[in-house]
Structure 1
Amino acid sequence: MPHDDRSSLIPLLDRARSGEASARDELFAKCRNYVAVIAQSRLESWMHAKVDASDLVQQTLLEAFRGIEDFRGQTDAEWLAWLRQILSHNTNDFIRRYRTDKRAVGRERSLAPAEPDDSRAPGRDPADPGKTPSQIVADHERDIQIADAIARLAEDHRQVILLRNLQRLPFDEIARRMDRSRPAVQMLWMRALRKLEELLHQPDS
């Protein structure tokens, strides 16, 4: 799929790799929300008392900043995958440091929101959170936009999106973590998805 120069990171990345400081700063500013959302989704509940997601974000971006000359990719997808790889290594380091749980870090997910089921019955707990990421978005460029939109959500909306769409937790578990009933969590999730879609369809300011 050809890149849209208006949204592709590659021109900015090329300037950053050539040594242009302002381009490097802009590139990492654009990617901060993306890395932050992935970091938050990968932190298991037992880790939150020990690790601040912002620390993982800062460390990941710093390492990428210092090592940008080592990146050899040519597409947005390769760049974002490189950032996720650095983040994954850092997260695994924290897990090894705090060996209190042997569960693996959550599987990598696209940031594309799963669409709510047509059934609005609050008590319904669908087996699958929604469409697969590949059915919703065709490229990784949109992940940046989605991460920016998630960062603008209210805290409870952001939390339910992360737990349901990225960590793929069942509603019963989300209800336990958020100290709400399952019907309340399902309604919150649907409202959060609608708000996220609103943000994604707002024209650029």
Structure 2
Amino acid sequence: MSESKQSTRIALLLENARNGDERARDELFECCRNYINVIARTNVETWMKAKVDSSDLVQQTLLEAHRGFRDFEGKSEGEWLAWLKQILAHNTHDFIRRFRAGKRDVKKEVRIQPQSPDASAPFRELAARLDSPSQVLMDHEQEFELANAISRLPDDYREVIQLRNLQRLSFEEVSERMERSRGAVQMLWMRALNKLQEILVENQSDS
């Protein structure tokens, strides 16, 4: 789905949800789950330097957004995603604070610095690394579509992109986390990027 069609779809779902269409509201939240999940995991794992189950954080964010839906005044996809990211940023801060409280060590204590609410940098960096002759992909910086494409990858492909591109770990760190050799991780990473490109091109072709 192209960016313009996706934006139109989000705007239509927002309008219908505001008019009391419960099915549209459920679809609106569900279609954003992949996006929120990618950002949530990137945020908490980048800070904690460990794999964390962010599903509760995602669920909490979507639940709060659902409860406070009437307070949302925007109409566009960008405004909607920005609102969700603000809620997620607040919940991420609380999540990290609770984690630190449970692991408190005065000598190791550091100031909490969760990523900014927009969380756009990882997506832009990943888009920039998609070295493809396709101009469509070279210009592709739509975070929402990128998150959905990542969710369609096989587990190991999704994992290596999450660690290498979104959490910005070195190949040595990725190798340790995935319990594979550096060479195997680099090969997996290249295959994952190629597969991600295929999915993005397929989405553009279907639009």
Shorter-chain TM-score tier: 0.7 to 0.9
The C-alpha deviation readout for 1:30-86, integer Å capped at 9, x for no partner, is 11111111112112274867x521111111111111111111223211211111111
- Displacement after TM superposition at 1:187 (Å): 1.5
Calculate the TM-score normalised by the size of structure 1. 0.77
Q: In structure 2, what is the equivalent of residue 105 of structure 1?
A: 114
| Residue in 2 that maps onto 1:11 | 12
Pair 1:44 & 2:45 matched? yes
Q: How many positions carry a matched residue from both structures?
A: 183
Q: CA deviation at 1:117?
A: 6.2
State whether residues 42 and 162 of structure 2, in contact with CA within 8 Å, keep that contact through their aligned partners in structure 1. Answer: yes
Matches within 5 A, 1:54-133: 54-99=55-100, 100=103, 102=110, 104-106=113-115, 108=119, 109-111=121-123, 113-114=126-127, 115=129
- Does the CA contact (< 8 Å) of 1:92 and 1:105 recur in 2? yes
Identity %: 53
Residue equivalent to 2:140: 137
RMSD: 2.6
Rounded Cα–Cα distance in structure 2 between residues aligned with 1:110 and 1:16 = 30
Equivalent residue, structure 2, for 1:164:
164
| Separation of aligned partners in 2, 1:176 and 1:106 | 24
Q: Is the 8 A contact 1:110 1:143 kept in 2?
A: no
What is the rounded CA distance, in whole Å, between the counterparts of 1:10 and 1:187 in structure 2? 40
One-letter amino acid of the counterpart of residue 144, structure 1: F
Instruction: Give the Cα–Cα distance (whole angstroms) in 2 for the partners of residues 190 and 105 of structure 1.
Output: 29
